[in-house]
Amino acid sequence: MRSRPSRPARFRARTLILPLLVVTLAGTAGTAYAAEDTEPPSAPGPITVVGTTANSVQLGWAASTDNVGVAEYHVSQIFTDIAMLHRTATNSIVVTGMLPSRTYTFGVWALDAAGNRSTAPPSLRFTMPPGDGQPPTAPKSLTVEAVGETTVGLSWGPSTDNVLLAQYEVLSFTLTGNTVVGRVYLLPPAYPSTSITVSGLAPRTTYWLAVRAVDEAGNPSALSNMVTVTTGPAPTCAACYYHRGPETWIAVRNTAPAG
């Protein structure tokens, strides 16, 4: 005859199982609760600038609402190709590390505890107050690299600036003034260039050209050295040439009928 287990042994077996049941039930209930909340928060109100300092900006917006509760706000900050993300539990934030005269784009959206994300209001484009009154250094050693019928290739030594260079401008000078005939944009600053092919010029025309740098605050540098260049002739014959100093220009045009 088998012996029946004693009551104390049966009681001990039950106490080992109960904690596992509690953990399993609690986990299932938490998962079900999170899965039930699929409603995102409402969109925050428009972003506004509350105040600025020389290197910071305080932003605010009308708070979002949610069926359970808003957990936090995410604020994006973009300058050219540089993006940053900030988090805050309130509908206001102070963003530091800003630079004068730079233009930033900000966006904001709300998230709840289940990870539901709201839509975003229109982004805010904001330029920090001026604080950069120092112009860049002048470009150096402007050189003519190539001359065409309506184009001129130029190169020069780079400028420097205390904050950030924005562009180079190529100016054409006449007796009555000057005109910008080419620009080299330096933002985003990943691949700065110090050369350009100026196009749209008139054939067989002499130009006096110089380059200047402009920083992000709009401060222009002094001019580089000036170069004089004469574009080539417009072809008016099947094959012709002309002399310019020690150089000989040749223009060839195919006048045969197409076929």
**201 and 170 in a common domain:** yes
pLDDT of residue 132: 79
Residue 98 lies in a domain: yes
Q: Which of 27, 105, 37 is nearest to 69 (CA)?
A: 37
- Higher local confidence (pLDDT), 234 or 5: 234
Residue 28 covered by a domain: no
Do 58 and 148 lie in a common domain? no
Number of domains in the chain: 2
Q: Does 16 score more than 80 pLDDT?
A: no
Assigned domain for 227 exists: yes
Q: Does residue 105 form part of some domain?
A: yes
Task: Note whether 113 and 150 are same-domain residues.
Answer: no
Same domain, 77 and 147: no
Residue 226: which domain range?
140-252
**pLDDT tens digits along 115-153:** 999 999 999 999 988 877 889 999 999 999 999 999 999
The CA distances from residue 19 to 14, 22, 24, in Å, are 9, 5, 9
Which of residues 104, 127, 150 is at a domain's end? Answer: 127
**Residue 60: predicted pLDDT:** 97
Mark whether 120 and 176 lie in a shared domain. Answer: no
pLDDT digits (tens, 9 = 90+) for 213-249: 998 888 999 999 999 999 987 655 555 555 555 666 6
Q: What angle do CA 205, 210, 211 make, to 5 degrees?
A: 135
pLDDT tens digits for range 18-50: 343 333 333 444 444 556 889 999 999 999 999
Which CATH number belongs to the domain containing residue 245 in this structure? 2.60.40.10
Query: Is 144 part of a structural domain of the chain?
Result: yes
C-alpha–C-alpha distance, residues 215 and 259, integer Å: 54
What pLDDT shows up at residue 13? Answer: 39
Q: Is the pLDDT of residue 9 over 60?
A: no
- Pairing state between β 70-79 and 82-88: antiparallel
